[in-house]
Amino acid sequence: MLLRAVLRRTGTGVMTLLVVSILIFICTSVLPGDVANIILGQMATPESLAALRAKLGMDQPPHVRYFIWLGDFLTGDLGISKAGSGFGTIGTPISEMLVPRLLNTLRLASVVAVIAIPISMALGLLAAMYPGSRLDRAVTFGTLSLISVPEFLVATFLVLVVAVQLGWLPATAYMSGNETGWKLVRALAMPTLTLVIVASSQIMRMTRATVLNVMSSPYIEMAILKGVPRKRIILRHALFNAIGPIVNVIALNLAYLVSGVVIVETIFAYPGLAKLMIDAVQTRDLPLVQACAMVFCVTYIVLIFIADMASILSNPRLRHPK
């Protein structure tokens, strides 16, 4: 049964990736602008534009360009930059531009996950242990308030207060690649704080709601009637049955930290993958845009697959359905 579930979800992930690749190619193909015009600039002539488009393969039919691009992607060939986005130049292999930016994004996501997940789960469990208490009301009010506030507003507020008014941290997360120790901490502090505030509220609220929902189950009521302490019931019984939805929310937030931090990376000028994609869109570097989008898609699919497997392994009812 477990093998069947793994194969089913793997097939679903592959089909999803195929459909998304088609959508990515179509959407990038209909974007306004012309990379040939951007490269040649004011010196462009109709003849030079036609020659450059032929050299870049832009004169081929769309379906031919799609299958060539998909085949190269599946073999690990991400292509070359056609417009010199970010720190790259025209003709730079996309993998050389992608890897350092991806490592920066993964570094930021890892730091946020290490801080946000334990804190949010602990506060969510404490709120579930004492429903109706001041702590529960404070957690509920705080999570509702933070979920309602977009991340760009949180980032702007932190810049105004922490960077401008107090001067504790720099307003931008500029990184040269040689930062270590305290310099690295200062560079990551502002985007990390912003993302911790945004991500923690969702995990915290889902943890509290899921545990309280499990607490209404008959076997929990029996444990309560036997006099088992509420803390032990939650930690030993309710949490394991509530872990599936919690892991799914954590996986979605981790995927957001990798691919959904475009605004945060732009505000703090953080040299991550999302910022690279913004630069690629501005310069019409379509191969780079497509590569970044596919990396984001693969990240989502892998994390959701891991969350599904964790839900199945933690819940015997999913492993052995009637």
Domain ranges, ordered by start, for the chain: 17-74, 94-319
Quote the CA–CA distance of 21 and 15 in Å, as a whole number.
10
Q: How far is CA 276 from the centre of its chain?
A: 15
* E strand segments, the chain: none
CB neighbours of residue 295 within 10 Å: 19
Q: How confident is the model at residue 43 (pLDDT cuts 50, 70, 90)?
A: low
Q: How confident is the model at residue 314 (pLDDT cuts 50, 70, 90)?
A: low
CB neighbours of residue 56 within 10 Å: 17
> When comparing pLDDT for 43 and 284, which is higher?
284
Quote the CA–CA distance of 320 and 306 in Å, as a whole number.
19
pLDDT in tens, 75-125: 877 777 765 555 445 567 787 888 888 888 888 888 888 888 888 888 888
Residue 15 has pLDDT above 80, yes or no: yes
Quote the CA–CA distance of 225 and 162 in Å, as a whole number.
50
Amino acid identity of residue 24, one-letter, is I
User: Which pTM value belongs to this model?
Assistant: 0.75
- Give the pLDDT of residue 32: 63
CB 13 within 8 A of CB 298: no
Residue 35 has pLDDT above 70, yes or no: no
Look up residue 21 and give its two tokens: 């690749």
Contact partners, residue 98, CB within 8 Å, separation at least 6: 78, 273, 276, 288, 291, 292, 295
Quote the CA–CA distance of 106 and 90 in Å, as a whole number.
26
Q: How confident is the model at residue 175 (pLDDT cuts 50, 70, 90)?
A: low
Across the range 175-188, mean pLDDT stands at 70
Residue with tokens 């819940």: 315
19-53 b/e (C-beta count within 10 Å ≥ 16 → b): ebbeebbeebeeeeeebbebbeeeeeeeeebeebb
- Give the pLDDT of residue 89: 52
- Give the pLDDT of residue 298: 85
- Write down the mean pLDDT value for the chain: 77
Superfamily of domain 94-319: MetI-like (1.10.3720.10)
| 3-state secondary structure (DSSP) of residue 209 | helix
pLDDT in tens, 252-306: 777 777 766 777 888 887 888 888 888 887 777 777 888 888 888 888 888 888 8
CB 145 within 8 A of CB 204: no
Closest CA to 125 of 270, 237, 34: 237
| 3-state secondary structure (DSSP) of residue 61 | coil
CB 82 within 8 A of CB 39: yes
CB neighbours of residue 81 within 10 Å: 24
Residue 191 has pLDDT above 80, yes or no: yes
What does the DSSP 8-state code read for residue 181?
T
Contact partners, residue 156, CB within 8 Å, separation at least 6: 267
pLDDT in tens, 196-244: 888 888 888 888 888 888 887 787 778 778 887 877 888 777 777 777 7
Q: How confident is the model at residue 33 (pLDDT cuts 50, 70, 90)?
A: low
| Burial status of residue 322 (CB atoms within 10 A of its CB: 0-12, 13-18, 19 or more) | exposed
Across the range 296-320, mean pLDDT stands at 75
